[in-house]
Structure 1
Amino acid sequence: MNSFTHYGQFMKFTLPEPDQKDVCNLCDKEVGKDNLITGKNANICFECSDLAKQLADEKRKEMAFKQVRELGDFLESIEGGTSMYEIAEKIYDAGYRKVE
């Protein structure tokens, strides 16, 4: 709340509160309805949405790297002379599936 005096009279004024339908629930910025992804219980601005996607992509990349390393370790543990079909069967039994 702001206040000032005018001709010796004390005056107060308040700024209007933004419409909650125009505010991002993550960063609390008033960005307007056109710049929000609206859901049932939350509004997310494009900037926060882009950041969330970037973080999710990085997390997926980390998970994929870990799984590739685990698969590499698994393949190294298979004794020589094993056919490719036996290796494929072991990989399938271990839970690895082609994802499209």
Structure 2
Amino acid sequence: MVTDINYTKKIVCVQPAHGRSETLWTGKGGDIHNTVVSKMREVLADCASHRASERLKQARGTAGERGWLRNYLLRGGNGGLYLIHWLGSKHSEPWSLCFDSRLPNS
């Protein structure tokens, strides 16, 4: 749970939330800065609490199995392609627009 945001120092303070939730990575999040995405990739390649460590272990396993850290263009189960470029959403939109414009109309 986010407890404080210091925009001047660019710091977000968080504390564990009560209860338990499942983490779903759909790839359709909000805006994410390049620095945040870069740090996410770094973390996928080191975690404090046991629950976080277990989730991270799961995420690392999935990333390794699916080649997310080795390949930038991945084939999806539905026949589509996914671009995993490890850049923020500001840089994702131009790629999405480019790819969408090349797809045949459905």
Query: Which interval holds the TM-score relative to the shorter structure?
Result: under 0.3
Greater helix fraction, Structure 1 or Structure 2: 1
TM-score normalised over the length of structure 1: 0.24
Higher-Rg member (1/2): 1
